[in-house]
């Protein structure tokens, strides 16, 4: 693409058609009246413009034939045609300049905003996770983002050095926190930093997080900086290219194109289109930027596509805090192995004297889960008199369900047995009830059910003897069934009351 290609058509409004054919000029009446009218409207003194054609031997650029221009008028027209040409060129290219400048400004604002959002997100994440510990060392993280901005603005050092310094400073602050019982003088910390930054990678205190962060941040920041620099370069190049120097040959050609029809007394006669193109191309030929301009545009498009995809700074900015957090977690989880390597290479550290040792905060004790242990709960006051009634009821339901499941495991069904079929004697039932409550033996095969309550009907009358089935069972067992069931009910009732506890 030729950056000044639109400028080739700047003067086409002066000659919109294919131009006059041969002999067309002979059909036009030459007169200074129209010339005086046009130049007078431009501010020319009519005293300098003759009312009729005069000899043109004094002309330097226009044909030396009969003319309406004096020498002074011709020189003024030459200067005006140059200014008109420059103005047309600058007006046509200003849109491209403004477009590149606007894109540069928008991208720059977007990038810096994303960087600020990433810094704010990291502050929130680490403040929530580490609290006061992060606040004490926040300068390290703020310094990282400051240096990233400097790199983007072309005033900072390389990204590799920036990230390496950050991880080294972070290690110097975090490693002593893992060993508060030791003292780490500056020489020891220097050894620690050198060991962590060694090229052999023998010590990786933060795991693979530094490498992954460096790859993602480097490619994104490098692409973003190259893109914004490219927009700025394009704007500057176009701005400079629009400052067209008019050579003597270009000036004379522009005068023949624009000014000479006025001097010849035919200002309404438009030059042909080919004449316009040849003049403009000749004047701009030394300002052409091809093929470099086309390659420049291709590079911008390719990089813009990358920044919207794999090199997206939005994704990279969001991952800064995540990668740093992953590195810190790796150091905590592998502190024993990392410390052993450091102590082997840098020597064992000196213990902190007991009088100077700062005791770490020790937290309130964690009490057990039982109700009795809640007396010592440091967080709240718990009523230890016993569980409430709904809880006791639920526990009783659990115990009953447990008994049914244990009986079912032995092949017994506690719910599907008839009370009358197991009333053959009180001894077995009494042993079942006592042993079950005491937890000594497993339930018998067919435990009795509570007696049916007396059914009131018309045959018994008020306070009658109950149902026939109930009376029949009583008569057969001689009262043993009633005694057995009554005793069972009492045992279960006492058990229920014991579970419910005192009120």
Q: Where are the domains of the chain?
A: 29-352+392-410
pLDDT at 429 over 90: no
pLDDT at 484 over 60: no
Q: For residues 331-340, b (16+ Cβ closer than 10 Å) or e, as one string?
A: beeeeeebbe
Tens digits of per-residue pLDDT, 401-423? 888 787 777 767 776 664 444 44
Q: Which of 301-315, 404-418, 486-500 has the lowest mean pLDDT?
A: 486-500
Nearest by Cα to 245 from 379, 390, 89: 89
More confident residue, 243 or 424: 243
Whole-angstrom Cα distance, residue 31 to residue 42? 18
Whole-angstrom Cα distance, residue 153 to residue 158? 12
The confidence score (pLDDT) of residue 139 equals 93
> What's the Cα-to-Cα distance from 268 to each of 24, 29, 263, rounded to whole Å?
12, 11, 12
The radius of gyration of the chain from alpha carbons, rounded to an integer in Å, stands at 51
Over the chain, what is the mean pLDDT?
Answer: 76
pLDDT at 169 over 80: yes
- Given pLDDT bands bounded at 50, 70 and 90, which one contains residue 23? very low
Tens digits of per-residue pLDDT, 439-463? 444 444 444 454 444 444 444 444 4
Average pLDDT over residues 385-412: 77
- 78, with CB counted inside 10 A (0-12, 13-18, 19+), is buried
**Which pair of tokens denotes residue 1?**
């693409």
Helix (H) or strand (E) holding 139: helix 138-152
Tens digits of per-residue pLDDT, 228-246? 989 999 999 888 888 878 8
How would you write 162-228 as a 3-class SS string? HHHHHHHHHHHHHHHHHCCCEECCHHHHHHHHHHHCCCCCCCCCCCCHHHHHHHHHHHHHHHHHHHH
Sequence-ordered alpha helix ranges (H) in 347-460: 389-409, 426-438
- Phi first, then psi: give them for residue 282, nearest 5 degrees: -65, -40
> What's the Cα-to-Cα distance from 148 to each of 136, 162, 224, 372, 400, rounded to whole Å?
21, 8, 12, 57, 68
Q: Which of 81-90, 231-240, 468-477 has the lowest mean pLDDT?
A: 468-477
Q: For residues 219-241, b (16+ Cβ closer than 10 Å) or e, as one string?
A: ebbebbbebbebbbebbebbbeb
Cβ 234 vs Cβ 100: under 8 Å: yes
Structure-token match 């079942």, residue found: 432
The confidence score (pLDDT) of residue 156 equals 63
């Amino acid at each position: 693409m030729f950056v000044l290609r639109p400028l080739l058509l700047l003067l086409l409004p002066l000659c919109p058609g294919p131009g006059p054919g041969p002999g067309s000029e002979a059909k036009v009446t030459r007169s200074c009246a129209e010339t005086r009218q046009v130049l007078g409207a431009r501010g020319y003194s009519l005293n300098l413009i003759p009312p009729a054609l005069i000899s043109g031997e004094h002309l330097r650029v226009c044909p030396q034939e009969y003319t309406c221009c004096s020498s002074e008028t011709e020189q003024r027209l030459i200067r005006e045609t140059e200014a008109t040409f420059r103005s047309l060129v600058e007006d046509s290219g200003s849109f491209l300049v403004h477009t590149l400048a606007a894109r540069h400004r928008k991208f720059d604002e977007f990038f810096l905003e994303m960087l600020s959002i990433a810094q704010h997100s990291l502050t929130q994440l680490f403040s929530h996770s580490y609290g006061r510990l992060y606040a004490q060392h926040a300068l390290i993280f703020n310094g990282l983002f400051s240096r990233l901005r400097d790199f983007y603005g072309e005033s900072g050092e390389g990204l590799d050095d920036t990230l390496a310094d950050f991880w080294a400073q972070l290690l110097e602050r975090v490693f002593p926190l893992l060993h508060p019982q030791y003292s780490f003088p500056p020489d020891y910390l220097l050894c620690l930093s050198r060991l962590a930054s060694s090229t052999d990678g023998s010590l990786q205190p933060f795991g693979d997080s530094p490498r992954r962060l460096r790859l993602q941040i480097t490619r994104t920041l490098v692409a973003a900086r190259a893109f914004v620099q490219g927009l700025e370069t394009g704007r500057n190049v176009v701005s400079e290219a629009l400052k067209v120097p008019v050579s003597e040959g270009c000036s004379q050609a522009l005068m023949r194109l624009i000014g000479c029809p006025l001097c010849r007394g035919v200002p309404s006669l438009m030059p042909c289109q080919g004449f316009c193109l040849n003049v403009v191309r000749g004047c701009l030929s030394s300002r052409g930027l091809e093929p470099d301009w086309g390659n420049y545009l291709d590079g911008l498009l390719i990089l813009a596509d990358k920044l919207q995809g794999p090199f997206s700074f939005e994704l990279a900015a969001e991952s800064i805090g995540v990668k740093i957090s992953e590195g810190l977690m790796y150091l905590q989880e592998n502190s024993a192995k990392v410390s052993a390597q450091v102590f082997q290479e840098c020597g064992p550290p000196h213990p902190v004297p007991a009088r100077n040792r700062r005791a770490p905060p020790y937290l309130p004790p964690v009490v057990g889960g039982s109700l009795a242990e809640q007396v010592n709960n440091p967080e709240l006051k718990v009523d230890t008199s016993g569980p409430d009634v709904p809880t006791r009821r639920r526990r009783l339901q659990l115990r009953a369900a447990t008994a049914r499941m244990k009986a079912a495991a032995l092949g017994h069904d506690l719910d599907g047995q008839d009370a009358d079929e197991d009333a053959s004697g009180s001894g077995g039932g009494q042993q079942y009830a006592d042993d079950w409550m005491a937890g000594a033996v497993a339930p018998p095969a067919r435990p009795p059910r509570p007696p049916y309550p007396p059914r009131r009907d018309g045959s018994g009358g008020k306070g009658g003897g109950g149902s026939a089935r109930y009376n029949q069972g009583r008569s057969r067992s001689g009262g043993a069934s009633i005694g057995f069931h009554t005793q069972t009910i009492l045992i279960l009732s006492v058990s229920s009351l014991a579970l419910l506890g005192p009120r």
